[in-house]
Structure 1
Amino acid sequence: MQSFLQYRRLRSRVATRLAIETHPPADDLKNEPTKDTDNVVASNGDDSTDARNWSPFHRGRVFALVWLLVFSQGWVSTCDSRVAKPASEFFHVSETAESVTTAVFFIGIALGALLAGPLSETVGRNPVYLISTFVLLAFTLGSSFAPNYGALVALRFLSGLASSPTLSIYGGTLADLFTEKERRSHWPIFAAGPLLGPVLAPVAGGFIAERIDWRWTLWIGLAFASVVWMMALAFLPETFSPVLLQYKARHLRGLTDNDDFVAPTEVQGDGLAKRLLTNFSRPITFFSSELIIILLGFYLILIFVINFSFLNGLDFIFTDTYGISTGVASLAFVSITVGVLIDILITPLYTRLCRRVLRQKCRAFNSIPPELSLIRAAIGAPFLPVSLFWLGWTNYSDINPASGYVATIFFGYALSAIFISSYQYIIDSYETYSGSALASITMARYIFSAGLVVATRPMYQGIGVQFVMTIMGTLALMLVPVPWLLIRYGDRVRARSKFASEVADA
């Protein structure tokens, strides 16, 4: 609805501009011979085809709507993850088999990520958000009434496939709306959506499954996501500038009867199918050839694999060790949330530290190199192995369970610091291509997470909490230098990157 009104308003603005500009009248323009590049449409000053020119209120509204979309769909992704026992009893399968429903949701997200970013860079963000979310609602409704285990697995996979676009391209929307300087203050708040949704849903799900019925975890998630979708349908506009320029070029062609007006993406004359094919290859290209994506991708894979392993691992860490209920064990996710919020609340301290570093280098704050975004990750990285070793080595029945809850606070802090910093660096480095860059990472981390969700129970049963946490802590320790290496050498890496160097030269 909002994008349709936006399209109509843009036509009105284009018509007004044509009427007041001093170039030859439309009748002359349509007969005037031009070169291919003479009438390439571009944003002009305060042109509304660049979302960064919109009013702060308008951009803030879009910011809030996309945040809610991401939060609600993150919630739906894990809302049934803590119902293994009642759901497995209902379908007469093992708890490990029941965890496959969460795993296939993640696989759906991973596969959909191959299409999500490129599709949004071809047809625009708005239709991708709205159509995919509607499909997600339909499949989630079907999941809640699944008559058997096979149907539930299939429907949860399709739900994950439908949620993938929103969970993959939101970083691109942020790049559409804000300048690099503005993103430094907005991104930490924005990033709370994809972090907190999957973390808080298991808390509610654990208690809902105990007190009401396991299907209610899906129904409540469905109701929440439906309300957010209706808000987005009414108020969410298109933000991707190349698509808005296509709108503008289309209006100019119609108003002047001059078919020479083209958007930059139309200059080569490629059809929609060819542009889609070109864009679909980007996520694979990014993860196979972009060193920044490879390094930060593996780091993000690790922290999300660990985080999602807690969906089943908490039963062993807290329920089996201390004999507490599933709902109370799920409170560890509240501790993770506390750690995330601590990291977000101390954002001004990171900003102050960046200013100090820049003053030492005699540079202005508005010309901050993307690498300084990684200071946050560099500070938070050591807390990841510390929290995992702490959680594992204090997991004994004669040690107060409060120790484990405190350890997960530090894990939440490290999770947030690494995630926010890495994504901000990728968005700043790739800007227009950030949708595909982030989609490539989304694909990889959800594939690995899906595998570990299923393997978690056998792994904890086979080698115990202490060894599992030691292995994960050791891997985390090995990756601690990654942010520091990129802070030191990231500018050289970006200079050798086809996509990052193109953004830097723009």
Structure 2
Amino acid sequence: MLCAMGFVTSITTSIITAASDELMEEFDISLTVSFLPLSLYVIALGFGPILGGPSSESLGRYPVYATILPLGTLFTLGCGFVHNFGGLCFLHFMTGFSWGPSLALASGSISETLPPRTRGPASALFILTPFLGPGLGPVIGSFVANRKGWRWTQWTMIFSAIFTMILALFTEETYHAKIKQRISREKGTEASPSVPFSTRLRLFIQVSLIRPVMMLFTDPIITFLCLYVAVNFGIEFSFFAAVPYVFGTAYHFGVEETGLGIVIGCILRFITIIVCDIFIYQKKISLYPPHKVPPEHRLYPAMIGSIGGPIGLFWFAWTAREDIYWASPAAAIIPFVWGNLCIIVAALQYIGDTYAGNIVASGAAANSLACYGLAAGFPLFSVPMFQNL
């Protein structure tokens, strides 16, 4: 369920970019403005966890899942019927705000369900799907838009969302505090004094709104880790707008061909995480008592992948031109995406191991706010930047 939810949330970011030409024609807008729904959706993904992530620590994970999935589906349905660009931007923002908490909640659910010894592969598999989504989005969106029109890029997401909601019906609560409360209530041993509304409201504001932002600016681990990850994340999102433009201009490629490098990079990242977990992390945790493994051992994939991003960027920048065969810049996307995603996955695993308990969702929400808040602006200036180089 978590993988399906992550895939639906992430593929919605980029599937509409394949219909930029249709948006420009129907709403009489420029190419840069046509990427505005993408940017608003991405920035909403950053704000959503600020409310939904910590709220799950008060209400439980499952009630939040059960709320955000149908809510986001309704907004997506509206995106397909809207007839003005302002309404499309608003509904796309609300879709991202509704589905955004899912990316932060999943880290908490995985850390609560699996012990550190077996958490690595599960985390790698989950984080594979949110990053496969943006790579596959333009490919799927191009096929749909060319045959059915841009509105079907939105309605296609509804089928995936309904499938995710069906899976959610078979899931249970994972937040330990809520599970203990339920067990105590079933045994009749829970004392439940009435808490004044003002006290609940104050706690909600402190936990849901203030704590993630405070962690982002006052916790050194969160601050520097999120800054590094956000810069890498923003550069990767700029590729969703720039790569189709570069390949379309220099090599006259369609959108379908340009997403292949991103998909291959995602798969290589998954392999790297699994290899590091089997041959490095599993050996390290045998040296420590259960649940006492230093979270720094999660950073090995980031150390390996940190060389891939600069190599891929340099390679792509020097070879993406008409007099060089298209396979060279296409291959350059692979080490860039591979290195970037190794860093992002390792950072999320590190946060999950460092801030266990009721803080992990707030840490993940702070990371989402930094990543998606910064990434939202990159698609807007990447194409004009390439046009004027």
Match of 2:294 among 369, 374, 398: 369
Q: Hey, what does 2:205 align to over in structure 1?
A: 277
Question: Matched residues in 1 for 2:86 and 2:272: separation?
Answer: 46
> Cα 1:247–1:289, aligned 2, differ >3 Å: closer, same or farther?
same
Q: Does 1:352 align with 2:288?
A: no
Change (3 A) 1:315 1:340: closer
Residue identity opposite 2:184 in structure 1: A
Query: Paired residue for 1:457?
Result: 383
Alignment length (residue pairs): 386
Out of 54, 77, 95, the position equivalent to 1:159 is 95
Shift of 1:357: 6.0
Residue matched to 1:251: 186
Q: Is residue 2:194 matched to residue 1:194?
A: no
Question: Distance in 1 between the 2:95 and 2:274 partners?
Answer: 38
Structure 1 residue corresponding to 2:350, chosen from 425, 428, 432: 425
Contact residue 117 and residue 282 of structure 2 kept, 8 A: no
What amino acid does structure 2 have at the position aligned with 1:386? Answer: I
Report the Cα offset of residue 152 of structure 1.
0.7
Deviation at 1:250, TM superposition (A): 3.2
* Structure 1 runs, 4 residues or longer, greater than 6 Å off: 266-270
Q: Which amino acid aligns with 2:74?
A: A
TM-superposed deviation, 1:267? 11
Q: What residue is the counterpart of 1:182 in the other structure?
A: 118
Deviation at 1:327, TM superposition (A): 3.0
The TM-score normalised by the length of structure 2 is: 0.93
**Which of 36, 58, 68 is 1:122 aligned to?**
58
1:392 aligned partner: 317
Does residue 292 (structure 1) correspond to residue 227 (structure 2)? The answer is: no
Uncovered stretches (5+) of structure 1, i.e. residues with no partner: 1-64, 465-506
Once residues 52 and 377 of structure 2 are traced to their aligned partners in structure 1, the CA distance between those partners, rounded to angstroms, is: 22
Q: CA deviation at 1:437?
A: 0.2
How far apart are the structure 2 equivalents of 1:73 and 1:211? 23
Fraction of identical pairs, as percent: 28
Map of 1:36-115 to 2, 5 A cutoff?
65-115=1-51
The superposition leaves residues 137-174 of structure 1 with CA deviations (integer Å, 9 ceiling, x where unpaired) of 00000001111111111111111111111122210111
Amino acid at match of 1:409: I
Task: After TM superposition, give the deviation of residue 269 of structure 1 in Å.
Answer: 11
The 5-angstrom pairing of residues 178-257 of structure 1 reads 178-232=114-168, 234-252=169-187, 255=188
Give the equivalent residue in structure 1 for 2:341: 416
- Tell me which amino acid in the other structure corresponds to 1:94: S
Between structure 1 and structure 2, the one with the greater Rg is 1
**Structure 1's 415 and 445: CA in aligned 2 closer, same or farther, altered over 3 A?**
same
- Counterpart in the other structure of 2:308: 383
Residue 317 of structure 1 is matched in structure 2 by: 246
Aligned partners of 1:324 and 1:369: how far apart in 2? Answer: 47
Distance 1:181 1:357 in 2: 10
Residue 170 (structure 1) aligned with residue 106 (structure 2): yes
Aligned mate of 2:235, from 297, 306, 312 = 306
What secondary structure sits across from 1:399 in the alignment? coil
User: CA deviation digits over 1:238-296, x for unaligned, max 9?
Assistant: 111112222233334xx46xx6468xxx9999943232122121101110111111122
Rounded to whole Å, the distance in 2 between the matches of 1:449 and 1:363 is: 38
